[in-house]
Amino acid sequence: MHPQLESYRRGFRACKDEATALVNDHPAEDLTAAPDAESWSVVQLFDHMNTAGWLLLHSIEDAIQKGRQDGPYGDPPFEYGFVSRWFVRSMQPSSGWTFAAPSVFEPGPSHTLRPKEVIEEFRGLQDQFADCVAAAEGLDLRRIRVPSPAVPLLRISMGAWFESTLAHEERHLQHAREVLARSSPVS
CATH number for the domain spanning 137: value is 1.20.120
In a domain, 187, yes or no: no
In a domain, 76, yes or no: yes
Range of the domain at 13: 3-182
pLDDT at 187 over 60: no
Is the distance from CB of 156 to CB of 87 less than 8 angstroms? yes
Read off the pTM: 0.92
In a domain, 143, yes or no: yes
Q: What confidence category does residue 175 fall into, taking pLDDT thresholds of 50, 70 and 90? A: very high
3-class state of residue 46 by DSSP: helix
Q: What confidence category does residue 182 fall into, taking pLDDT thresholds of 50, 70 and 90? A: confident
In a domain, 112, yes or no: yes
In a domain, 154, yes or no: yes
Give the mean model confidence (pLDDT) for residues 24-35: 92
The alpha carbon dihedral of 63, 46, 15, 178 has a sign of: positive
Integer Rg of the chain from CA: 17
Q: Write down the pLDDT at residue 184.
A: 55
pLDDT at 163 over 80: yes
The tally of domains found in the chain comes to: 1
3-class state of residue 157 by DSSP: strand
